[in-house]
Amino acid sequence: MPTKLKALLVLLAVSILMNVATGLSGSLSGWLGALINVILFLGVVRGKEGARNLLMMLAGIGLMFSIFAVLVGILALASAPNPLGGIVVLFAAAFALGQNGFCLWCLRQPDVQHWMYQKSLGAMAG
C-alpha cells in the first residue's frame, strides 16, 4: 500500500472519530457520516474502484464547500468585533480544504490507482 494512501486512511479515520463524537452528542447526521466514512474506508482498503470514484466525487464537493467556508471565515474575521469565531471557522475550513485536496490528489496518483487495481484483481482471483 502506498504511503500516501495510508495517510489518506488516517485522515478518514480521524473523520470517522469526529463523526462519532458528533453522533454521541445526539446528532443523527454524525452517525450517518460515520457509517458512510466506514464504508468508504473499507472500500479503499479492499481496492474497490467504486469507493475510489465516490470518495473523489465527495472530496470534490467538499473542496467546493471548504473554499466557500474559507471565504466565510475571512469575512467573519474581518467584520466581527470578536474575531475568535472567524478564526475557528477559518481553521476548520482550512483543515477541510487540505483534507479534500489531499484526497483528490492521492486518489489520482498512478501508484495508488495501480495498487487499488492490483488489490481488486487479487480479491477476485483469491
Q: Nearest CA to 84 among 92, 96, 76?
A: 76
Query: Which residue carries 463523526 as its cell?
Result: 19
Ramachandran category for residue 2: left, alpha or beta (phi over 0 → left; psi -120 to 50 → alpha): beta
Tell me: the pLDDT tens digits for 71-115? 888 887 888 777 777 788 888 888 889 999 999 999 999 999 999
Please report the pLDDT score of residue 44 as a whole number: 92
Q: 27: helix, coil or strand?
A: coil
> What is the C-alpha separation between 111 and 1, in angstroms, rounded?
9
Q: What pTM, to 2 d.p., does this model score?
A: 0.83
CB 103 within 8 A of CB 11: yes
Farthest CA pair distance, the chain: 62
Q: Where are the beta strands (DSSP E) in the chain?
A: none
Residue 126 predicted with pLDDT over 60: no
